[in-house]
Chains A and B, each alone.
Chain A
Amino acid sequence: MTQAVQNLVDGLGQGSIFALLALGLTLIFGVMHLLNFAHGELITVSSYVAYALASRGAGWETLALAIVATSVLTAVAIEFLAFRWVRGANEFTMLLTSFGVHFVVAALFLMYVSPRPLNIPKPGWIFQTVRIAGVALEVVDLATIAATALTLAATSWLLRKTLFGIALRAAAEDFDAARIMGVRSNRVIRGAFALSGVLAGVAGIFWLMRTGTAAPSAGLTPLLFGVIAAIVGGLGSLGGAVLGGLALGLTQVFLRAWLPPDLSGLTEGLIFVLIALLFILRPQGFVTVHRAERV
């Protein structure tokens, strides 16, 4: 029982990170029908900024702010340098463009920093636990869950109550109609990328706290899980993305806990089997999004 609660909190903590990434991916998919495989680069670039600051003695409060800021700037820069030019191109082109961005960013860090992973010191409290009702819970999980809840609440307020948020949701629903109603496409797309940058930044803080690594492909694993969560959630459904992320985190933790120890090396492999099966059996995800294509 105690173990189950621990796993639950652990899974939600992991899942929160995926949920934030998935939400950003689904926002971008909504406004430009792009599944952004370069979303992980926000974490990659942030990881190097965090490394640079940490090696100059900055504390994690500074790192957190820097990570979010870097993530937003990177998101906007990638939109400006790459995705703006393939807007409206066919899906194949957009998909490969996002992979191209990933490869270029990874190669640049390989070229100018180091092909080897660099170490970012983890905060001291990361391994601490607190006892709540007799159950020892990891502080980092609770912090992740709390920060994610706050971020999601703020995002929800932004999307519902501000003019920008309403324009963004309208554009995700029907871009042409939104444009006729006076929504400026450049602004709304740039805004979507910036917002996805904030979300990825918050996710990045906790991801980097856990891994403590800056590397040319530091963002690849969280990206993959974010993409999976977004698609599980129906790609386009904001609530679905969050649920997809949490479900994925829980699956990962419980799988690791229940597999016999000599198979634990295969957890990753098993997750890839599940992913393949998932896309084969339910390519549209578990949250149905009605997307009317006009023919």
Chain B
Amino acid sequence: MRRDPVDRWLLPAGESATLFAVLVGGGALYAAAGGSARDTLVSQMLVNAVMVLGLQVYIGNTGILSFGHMGFAAIAGYAVAIMAIEPAFKRLFIPEAPFGLAEVDLHPLVATAVAVLFLLLVGFFLGLGLARSGARAGAVAPTMITLALLFLVHEAARNFTDLTGGERSGLSFGPGNSLQGRGWIYAALGASILVTRLFRETRAGRLAQAGREDELAARASGIDPAPPQMIALLLSIVLITIGASLRVQLLGSMTPNFFFFSYTLLTLSMLVVGGRKSVTGALLGVVIITAGNELTRYLASGAVSVPGLGWLLREGLSDVFLGGAMLGFMILRPDGLLGDRELADRIRVRRRSAEPPPEPLTAGAAAEPASTLTAREVTVQFGGFLAVHEASVEVRSGEVVGLIGPNGAGKTTLLNAITGVVPVTHGRVTLDGHDLTGRPTHRIARAGVARTFQNFRLFPSLPLREHVAVAALVAERHRRDRARPDPGALLSAGGLWEARERPAREVDTGTARRLELARAAALAPGFLLLDEPTTGMSEAESKAMIEHVRSTAAAVGAGVLVIDHDLHFITRVCDRIFVLDQGRVIAHGTPEEVQAHPQVRAAYLGTPAEASG
């Protein structure tokens, strides 16, 4: 299932080239048919495209809604304007510029490079702050932090008039101080398209996207979303800075309102209309919104009069259009026109369908050293409620251990405590003597404890193959000392091979559960913790699952801890069973021993009298 360089790099590069050619060629044709107003419009559209790609890298891949990017753009715009405008001209606006900035006279390209470095520094610290705030897809804290940045920069730009010229004068480029001609815009746009498109295929890009789809599932697969988010942020800041530099030079001036709320609205609408998750989608949005914006402006300018529509064709129509586009798409089609599809997806899928089927999964990992996962007297307390009370459970490699108990017994909570999803109040979780208690979920996963979820958690818009592939990516780096299962073989063993290009949101429950198992196994774990792997499956499916769990565990050489309600399943699949009731372990032993245990019969089947009656 390894992707060849054509699939990984050449096709995306071809897509980038095509998108660039269409955008630039279409723009040139449109401009050639009209006057200089069209020329300016096309230049603006191409610069906006660079800005929107900057947003796409971060927002599209991480799912974090940032309002601060136009704050970065404002800083960049001022930085370039202050450094590139020649001193004689600059003194007209900011004669008392501090730090000797009045005398700085750099070539626009050098000024842009300096601005990029400066903003990378600012962005790095902001990124640390975002990570500290627990940034994840859809979270509120990063949106607020970035919104605060936007307002802060705006306030500063208005008040530090010595440096910025404030709202009145602003800063204007002198003749010959700015880059001329569209060549620079073409170069920046081409590079931006290529970089954003290829980023989706890089390790950081793929891990960021997994984190966007489901943060907890990503962590449970050993992914720490913070580093890929930081990389995406820094990359997006480079693009935004370049875009902002081009925009102020194109417009010839800079004021506090250039990169504020209305430009945020414009660029965000562009990003979400076509599809924020894909580069093709982002660019499609740029074209659609630019066209719509121009059309509504033209109609509202009074150039045409349609009887009966006078109430609609008036100034402000284009703002209603922008807001309406954003709102309408969020309500009707939140992933935009394209979702996460790229230009050449058809070709990609056709090429991949010709892949040779993988070798069968072999029980080749039996040589792994024996290992033990222990939870000793673990207590988990929620407020005054003891969900798990001094429960001790032990699993050794090679065995399948069951965890049963009535609803609310604390089975899932115990599993969550072992994997660091909920904090352990007392007690310890150890792996071969190494303490795992209190470690973050992704570290526990990297240590070799993989899990599935009761209400399965997949990466909805990613194809099935990518679920297994990202886990394998993590294993490649963090499970080096172990034999790692072949991702294709895992898909094949789970009966998922044929459907490997389908997005996970389309699959049924049985497939979803097998996919979760495959994803967990791709981590080459020492232990697999399965939370109700047969719930929602048909009888035939759950029968097949017994064999599947056993053979998968044997192939990766993992011990298994499995929670299930299906007593038949548990007794068939398990070597040993722990019984949990009201947070305590009330019994453990072989399936026969446990079934004969009086307390178990009482807890599980009701009172002894009822059970025998």
Contacts and interface: CB of A to CB of B under 8 A. Distances in A.
Nearest to B213: A90
Contact of A86 (B130, B331, B454): B331
B167 to A, nearest CB: 13
A107 interface: yes
B144 A227 contact: yes
Nearest to A114: B316
B5 interface: no
Contacts of A101: 327
A96 B268 contact: yes
A272 B138 CA distance: 21
Interface in B103-148: 129-130, 132-134, 137-145, 147-148
Which of A96, A102, A111, A281 has the most chain B CB within a 10 Å cutoff?
A96
Interface in A271-295: 272-273, 275-276, 279-281, 283, 290, 292, 294-295
B141 A279 contact: yes
B323 A91 contact: no
Interface string A101-117: 11110111011100100
B99 interface: no
Contacts of A107: 316, 319-320, 322-324
B330 interface: yes
Given A104-B320, A290-B382, A91 B144 contact: no
Interface residues of B, number: 54
A280 B334 contact: no
Nearest to B125: A280
A97 B454 CA distance: 30
Contacts of B455: 294-295
A228 B320 CA distance: 27
A239 to B, nearest CB: 16
Given A115-B316, A280-B129, A95 B140 contact: yes
Interface in A31-50: 35
A295 B416 contact: yes
A103 B141 contact: no
A103 to B, nearest CB: 3
A231 interface: yes
A129 interface: no
16 contacts: A35-B140, A82-B327, A92-B63, A97-B331, A100-B330, A103-B323, A106-B319, A106-B323, A111-B317, A112-B316, A268-B151, A272-B148, A276-B148, A279-B141, A283-B141, A295-B454
Interface of A: 35, 82, 85-86, 89-97, 99-104, 106-108, 110-112, 115, 217, 224, 227-228, 231, 235, 265-266, 268-269, 272-273, 275-276, 279-281, 283, 290, 292, 294-295
Interface of B: 63, 65, 129-130, 132-134, 137-145, 147-149, 151-152, 155-156, 159, 216, 261, 265, 268, 272, 314-317, 319-320, 322-324, 326-328, 330-332, 334, 382-383, 412, 416, 421, 453-455, 457
- Pick the 4 closest A-B CB pairs, nearest first: A91-B138, A111-B316, A100-B327, A103-B323
